[in-house]
Amino acid sequence: MSTKTEASTANVFSMLGDTLESAAEAFEEASVNSSESAKRAAQTTKRALGNWLHGAAYGVSYGLVYAGVFVTELMPENNLVRRGLAEGAEAALGARKKVAATKAENKTKLVKASPAKPQKRRTKASPRAKKVVQKRADDFDAAAAAAS
Give the list of residues 6+ apart from residue 41 with CB closer than 8 angstroms, or none. Answer: 136, 137, 140, 141
pLDDT-based confidence at residue 125 (cuts at 50, 70, 90): low
Determine the Cα–Cα distance for residues 56 and 116; give it in Å rounded to an integer: 36
* Inter-residue contact 144 to 48 (CB < 8 Å): yes
Average per-residue pLDDT for the chain:
78
Percent of the chain with pLDDT over 70: 74
Instruction: Determine what percent of the chain falls in helix, strand and coil, rounding each to the nearest 5.
Output: 85, 0, 15
Q: Please write the tens of the pLDDT for every residue from 64-88.
A: 888 888 888 899 988 999 899 889 9
Residue 128's pLDDT is 74
Q: Tell me the mean pLDDT in the region 86-96.
A: 90
Per-residue pLDDT at 1 exceeds 60 = no
* Inter-residue contact 41 to 137 (CB < 8 Å): yes
